[in-house]
Amino acid sequence: MTRIDDLLARGRTTSFELFPPGTDEGEKILWRAIDELEPLSPSFVSVTYGAGGSTRDRTHRLVADLLRRTTLTPMAHLTSVNHTRDELATILERYRDAGVTNVMCLRGDPPKDDPDAFWELEHATDLVQLAREVGDGAFAVGVAAHPEGHPLAPDLATDRDHLARKLELADFGVTQFFFRASDYRDMVADLAARGCTTPVLPGIMPITNVRQIVRFAELSGAEVPAELVARLREVEDDPAAVRRLGVEVATDLCRELLDAGAPGLHFYTLNRSSATREIHANLGLTAV
């Protein structure tokens, strides 16, 4: 199967993120989106892993279904929270044996209101090293990056130091969503100053719902710029206008990022296809 590091070595990529649904209706919505996104020939699609492993089996099933039912190249997310090292090794072995060659290694956030959450592998770098050991060269390994800094980091410089070390162990990074191209450019420059040139894909989340994006931003530590909030507030009672503005803003951001030399674009779809397809068309994108 295709490895993401090989794709990045060949040129610009486009990719979409999906999550495993928990209901029959959600399953229908997901597969409708997949059917609509597959003709865009994305370089790969990523499948998230719920907090504390809450979607462990559903994540594996969706990745396997993508391999079996589509032409898409999946990347499986894996988090170490609430898992022992042996459990994580078993999950990685299942992916390896199923022919999955791309994994995203994350420390992970604990489930909400879980005082007993634990990390036997304390850092994402520990999970990267385990994936290397289990895969024995089979996996292309990705890690997360935060252009505005991780919300738990004591300061931006410390976060950049940690990110550079993490990326040196990985094959590529994918960022949390953000809304200013300057945050991405600054992150890449900071990494380069630390001698790190591992490619980092910017994550794009089209705004289609004002309350939802504000809540997501609060949870992730991303900032929705005041001027963008003001524009959204002007049309927040008109869902169609919010969506049009969200597509416009995301399209402009993508253009800035590509002009700045971003190695590709990674879209957070929320299991919907229309906004992503419109941005894709606006940009005239072709994928590796």
Is the separation of the CB atoms in 251 and 207 below 8 Å? no
pTM of the complete model: 0.94
Give pLDDT tens digits for 194-232: 999 999 999 999 998 888 887 878 777 788 888 998 898
Is the separation of the CB atoms in 217 and 232 below 8 Å? no
Token pair of 215 as six digits: 């809540």
Which residues in 7-73 belong to E strands, given as ranges? Answer: 13-18, 44-47
Whether 17 is catalytic: yes
CATH 3.40.50.2000 fits 4-283, yes or no: no
Give pLDDT tens digits for 6-17: 999 999 999 999
Give domain limits for the chain. 4-283
Active-site residue (options: 17, 25, 120, 227): 17
Angle between the 274-283 and 239-259 helix axes, to the nearest 10 degrees? 40
Give pLDDT tens digits for 36-47: 999 999 999 999
CA dist., res. 262 & res. 12, Å (int) = 8
